[in-house]
Structure 1
Amino acid sequence: MISRRMLLTVLLMLLPWLLAACVSAPPQPNPALTVLANLPQPAPPTDGSIWRPGGGGDLIADPKARRVGDILTIVLQESMQASKKSSTTTSKKDSTNLKAPLILGTTASYRGNPLATALSSDNSFKGAGSSSQSNQLTGEITVVVVRRLPNGVLMVRGRKWLTINQG
């Protein structure tokens, strides 16, 4: 029979492995979502006044999406249309007349039928084809502001994977 002390020793030896099974790998940083540092802004000129040019805009300005780290939602709307038409018409007409040959001054014949013959052929083709294609993509993508340029333009970064079947 297994003693209580032996059972406790085995459980204590297995305990580190049991706890290690619960540990997960640390998450890897997503380079698409890392925030880039702001470009250095030129220092505003100091002229000794209480009022700074461009400093009072925060009282009435819309604070949405102007700082690094802010989140934006971009609406995608794209549509493409293409069409092509073609038509072809060809025709060919041939005719040939063969006169019966003269043999010793008389018209050659076989069993009383002259050997003269006439051949004609008439071929025509008329074809038309058209092709059209239309694609439309609508969706939204959420992005992060990663940089604000001195002229106020925001650089954003985000990623979304789409799978479109062949159409």
Structure 2
Amino acid sequence: MRRAFLFLTILPIAACGNLEEVGRAPALSPIESSDEFRAMTTAPLPAYSERSTPNSEASLWSGARSSLLGDRRASQGGDIMTVVIEIDDKAEISNTSGRARQGAQSMGISALLGLPQRLNEVLPNGIDLDPAVSTSSTSSFSGNGSVSRNEKLTLRVAVTVIERLPNGVLRIRGSQEVRVNFELRELIVTGFVRPEDISRQNEITYDKIAGARISYGGRGQISDVQQPRYGQQITDIILPF
């Protein structure tokens, strides 16, 4: 009874961590804890410096961003650029494993100065010392798992340069929300980009974003119906059977 009570007491405590995720979407890993962020903010990296070429007073052209030939790509905090997301991934994984083991042990006391025979006289009926100990065990395991995934996503979203790191890398973040009736679609993009990877059209593809975090989901009546109820999620976490 004590063991059963202890098991029932520890089980809800162990499940508390999972209960916090009930009704929540999987959280994205923070960029600040990534290796990319630590590498970009460490002192050994060379500091970024822009090369500026003085314009001749007699020249009709200027290198300013507002000029005809000026560079209008995002380069500093507050600038806006476009991220093109075209994901077409497919993966198939299949694993099979098996294991079996069988063992038996037996130990008996047939003669030990006559003690077993004398003890058998005083032991209750059905109990004797030959064999004194006998065990037998059999275990088997068989596992089979497979994963088949096919994802395709094509999106374009405007992002804002949050800050410029000491080595010139730009930290970007953008979000987009579209509401149709009672369903809200949300797109979030964060990461780090190099200014030289930005095209002349002020666009960059998602595969050139370091530490990219892309979230595409929704909230609303349809999304609520697609998720199991909170009570069912809680019982799936707590019940051990």
**TM score, norm. by length of structure 1:** 0.36
Structure whose residues are more often helix by fraction = 2
More relative contact order in 1 or in 2 (CA 8 Å, sep 6+)?
A: 1
Task: Give the TM-score taking structure 2 as reference length.
Answer: 0.27
Larger Rg: 1
